[in-house]
Structure 1
Amino acid sequence: MAADGGRWSLRFDPDLPWADYVALVGERETSAGPSDVAHAELVADVDGTVVGRATVRLELDDFFRTLGGQIGYLVLPAHRGRGHATEMLRQSLVFLREHGHPEPVLVTCDDDNVASATVIERNGGVLESVVSGVGDVPKRRYWIG
């Protein structure tokens, strides 16, 4: 994933057996950094094949309130372009609502990520603004709800 510019999870190791990974992410982080917020990691699978993941933030710090948003998602390269990201974002929104999060929901993407912007817009995202991001890539801020 790192070679593709994405990051699966802070604890993901492709050589770690799946059951061990699930047990690991179920543990409470004891050395949380200042930008660690309460969140859930959701795995997307199709017929038993993992195609991606979504991170749903149940609270926001200054970074996520400005640039990161409440939902981040990633589809593995071999599974892109098949509508998985659109469905992952839809189900992440359902998850947030089921856990009592009020609308609207902030979702962001890099300004040059046309695929992600399309996914957000297909889920009802309304562009609020484009802001300076990390490095040279501006971020698009969308609200869904």
Structure 2
Amino acid sequence: MPQLSLPTEQVHRSFLAAMAEFRAEGRGDSADLTMIGSELREFGHRWAARESFSGYVGWLRAQSLEDSPRPEGYVPSTSLWWIQGDDYLGRLAIRHRLTPSLLDVGGHISYDVRPSARRRGHATAMLRAALPLAHGLGIPSALVMCDATNIASRKVIEANGGIFDDQRGEKLRFWIPTT
């Protein structure tokens, strides 16, 4: 059964295959402002080497610490991977607090499921599993967003109790109680 896990070197092979799937659907170019897009650009060329991948896993884990170095305007963020055995199925990030920018675009929680694992309930289960963790971080209600055209993601958010707030640009904004 899949579960949320801190980033781990155990899924290295499967992680590389998943990132190749994301690249094949156009992720990682300069217009992709998602976490996966940013990390494909910054780290993707080094992931194949096990030593570099280990460094990436350590960096990702450290981003949850308040005093870890991060770009101006970024907040601590807990990254979790949705894995089953040695198979990487997706990722989820919980941002510990909102900045004015994250209030407009980004929110508390974002998630991605690798293309070959979509339409199997992984996103719904992953988000459900993350809500108590967000509560433990002091987030009573998590802001989660999706593109207005992403009906599948909207259904995931609503299945987890998401309450529609408003639309800002192309983004729909929902609040999900974490208890």
| TM bracket (short chain) | 0.7 to 0.9
Of 112, 120, 129, the match for 2:149: 112
Aligned match of 1:135: none
Letter aligned with residue 172 of structure 2: R
Q: Which runs of 5+ in 2 are unaligned?
A: 1-21, 28-33
Determine whether 1:26 maps to 2:61: yes
| CA separation of 1:112 and 1:49: change in aligned 2, threshold 3 A | same
Partner of 2:13: none
Residues 3-22 of structure 1 aligned to structure 2 (within 5 Å): 3-4=24-25, 5=27, 7-8=35-36, 10=39, 12-13=43-44, 14-17=47-50, 18-22=53-57
1:97 equivalenced with 2:135 (yes/no): yes
Instruction: Name the SS for the 1:127 alignment partner.
Output: strand
Q: 2:85 aligns with which of 47, 51, 65?
A: 47
Indicate the percent of aligned positions where both proteins have the same amino acid.
33
Which whole-Å CA distance do the structure 2 matches of 1:64 and 1:106 have between them? 9
**CA distance change for structure 1 residues 27 and 57 in 2, over 3 Å: closer, same or farther?**
closer
Q: Distance in 1 between matches of 2:123 and 2:99?
A: 24
In the other structure, the counterpart of 1:128 is 165
Distance in 2 (alpha carbons) for counterparts of 1:62 and 1:89: 23
Q: Compared with structure 1, are the counterparts of its residues 125 and 23 closer, same or farther at alpha carbon in structure 2 (3 Å cutoff)?
A: same
SS in structure 1 of the partner of residue 144 of structure 2: strand
Aligned to 2:174: 142
Relative to 1, partners in 2 of residues 1:21 and 1:34: Cα closer, same or farther, differing over 3 Å? closer
Residue 105 of structure 2 aligns to a residue whose secondary structure is: helix
Q: Where does residue 12 of structure 2 map in the other structure?
A: none
Instruction: Give secondary structure in 2 for the equivalent of 1:117.
Output: helix
Change (3 A) 1:112 1:92: same
AA in 2 matched with 1:110: D
Distance (whole Å) between structure 2 residues aligned to residue 71 and residue 139 of structure 1: 14
Relative distance call for 1:7 and 1:77 in structure 2 (3 A) is farther
- Give TM-score, length-normalised by structure 2: 0.69
Please identify, of 114-123 and 39-48, the stretch whose mean Cα deviation from structure 2 is larger.
Answer: 39-48
| TM norm structure 1 | 0.83
Which range moves more in the overlay, 57-66 or 6-15? 6-15
Which blocks of at least 5 consecutive residues in structure 1 are unaligned?
133-137
More displaced stretch, 90-99 vs 117-126: 90-99
